[in-house]
Structure 1
């Protein structure tokens, strides 16, 4: 668990409170705190960056100090990974104990409704996903798999795929609001699919792709993505417009175009940026704002990541 110190307001001298007897069905049990609230209490700080989506979950990036406390039951599953470094993790739940290492490529999972004592002896960075049970149930239903059992507790468990997906989600917490939101929505669904496959009591087995979008539906989806208005280009809106679940829309869109919806939109925005840089004298900061980036720095970083050049360097070279 990346630097997640759990605090108990009035710790018992004999140790932990007894674990809850049952998993909450949708995180709606009144006595359970939202994961972001409990993590803020335990870590005694605010996240460096955080973004939330009501239909998927919340991604948060933290840096916290040493931690010796109890994480109380939460309404959401918490899946976390560690961007860098190596740090010992000690976790106790009832009579069981786990000692592991927080490092890149491993994940820690705190199932909703569970409680455990954590001891982390140095400050650390951690990326956390707060995943509602309803999201897991939605993904299981859309993928045509059996309903998930309880998630398994994991402490520094090797899982390079989940770790990489979480770190990618953290990278999207700044920049273009539209692009980043769409990217996080896709990643959260991918993460939920991965968690079902690797860390649930009943592993999920997604159905194979059965085909792409029809020409008419694909054209309508692309028109929505290309829109320069305030059109809703969330994954939910795109999928609803196509008459598909989010899960199947993403798979079918990629089957049709070779790109995910986010990658397609990112490529489209890059082409718009290139045209504006080449054909107009608009300042880079104005182009960044026109394309929905929060700052010129965020736009320049995204542009360079895709082209290898800053917008200003690219403009000078191509004129």
Structure 2
């Protein structure tokens, strides 16, 4: 929801345990929020919220791995209970936690207001693909409260911005950030004992060419990282890391560069306006195209067209 704040009586845990990665046992939660946004892809989803106020209580059983991040510019008076542990969710600038499947947790929210929140739900297969496990049975994520990892917080900020702005850079961008988040999570908080070795030196030339050709053939589509990785039969984690080793740029950034180069060619067609060019290149709207074009060139599409016409 965007625009003015709306009062919602939530039958499920809207803002503290993700959209689908839990089963509500008991819920009496009331939320007033200014804006929200959701991005979903195979095996994962992310939900961003701008919260005005939240009060009530809820008990849930977690069914997928949940990462939750809170940026607090207002106040928080709340606690969570997991088993015999009681965790104070303190009134401070940031707070994050990780809940694995099977966690039964209750939240008691006395007063929460003026903050931003992000939930990232990761299914087991997505985690396996990100980390490149050889023996899935040996892998579990540990329940963690007050998760402070700096890189995870940076990635969470990227994902939150994409959720709230409705993914202007495309699914590939958000999924790449979530894959790095999942990879980092597994390597820091899991019980894994055997991980596949990521080959050093990047992708073999034949696989690199195949991946690039696949992305070029889908230039007008909002493709996912899993689709591109599958085209060369690699896990998402292995592919994204090796691709960047090969070209010194992430897959989403490489694809954006190719789309912008194609846009420069399309600008010479007087029958195409900017909205049509944006659609041809797979952008949701002209605004998203403009953001991507300026990020790549330093100019807006209109400024580029004027400069080239001189």
TM-score range, shorter chain: 0.7 to 0.9
In structure 2, the partner of 1:153 is: 144
Deviations along 1:13-32, whole A, 9 cap, x unmatched?
Answer: xxxxxxxxxxxxxxxxxxxx
After TM superposition, the structure 1 = structure 2 runs for residues 1-319 of structure 1, keeping only pairs within 5 Å, are: 34-35=20-21, 42=29, 48-55=36-43, 57-64=44-51, 65-83=53-71, 85=73, 87-88=75-76, 89-101=78-90, 106-114=95-103, 115-119=105-109, 121-123=111-113, 124-142=115-133, 147-155=138-146, 157-173=147-163, 174=165, 180-201=170-191, 207-228=197-218, 233-277=223-267, 279-281=268-270, 282-319=272-309
Give me the TM-score of the superposition, normalised by structure 2.
0.77
Structure 1 length-normalised TM: 0.75
On the 8 A contact 1:196/1:204 being kept in 2, the answer is: no
d(CA) in 2 for partners of 1:95 and 1:6? 29
Which runs of 4 or more aligned residues in structure 1 lie more than 6 Å from their structure 2 counterparts after TM superposition?
Answer: 5-9, 143-146, 203-206, 229-232
State the shift of 1:309 in Å: 2.6
- For the structure 1 residues 216 and 140, does the alpha-carbon distance in structure 2 shift closer, same or farther, using more than 3 Å as the test? closer
Distance 2:260 2:93 in 1: 31
* Residues 277-301 of structure 1: CA deviation (Å, up to 9, x unaligned): 3x23332122111111112122222
Report if the CA contact (8 A) 2:89-2:95 is conserved: no
Number of aligned residue pairs: 288
Cα distance per residue 1:222-272 (max 9 Å; x no partner): 111111577794333322322322222222222221112111101111212
The answer for unaligned runs of 5 or more in structure 1 is: 10-32
Cα deviations by residue, 1:35-75 (Å, 9 ceiling, x for unpaired) = 277599856589721121123x1111123432331231021
Check 1:253–1:106 CA distance in 2 against 1; reply closer, same or farther (3 A cut).
Answer: same
1:271–1:92 distance in 2 versus 1, CA, 3 Å: same
Unaligned stretches of 5+ in structure 2? 1-7, 13-18
After superposing the two structures, state which structure 1 stretch, 235-244 or 158-167, moved more.
Answer: 235-244
Q: Deviations over 1:157-209 (max 9, x none)?
A: 322211211221233345678x5222222222211111112333558877454
Alpha-carbon distance, 1:103 to partner: 6.1
Question: 1:221 offset after TM fit, Å?
Answer: 1.4
Partner SS, residue 200 of structure 2: coil
Aligned 8 A contact 1:140 1:148 in 2 = no
CA distance in 2, matches of 1:230, 1:271: 13
Q: Greater strand percent: which structure?
A: 2
In the alignment, is the contact (CA less than 8 A) between 1:127 and 1:170 conserved in 2?
A: yes
Q: Do the aligned partners of residues 109 and 228 (structure 1) sit closer, same or farther apart at CA in structure 2, a change above 3 Å counting?
A: closer
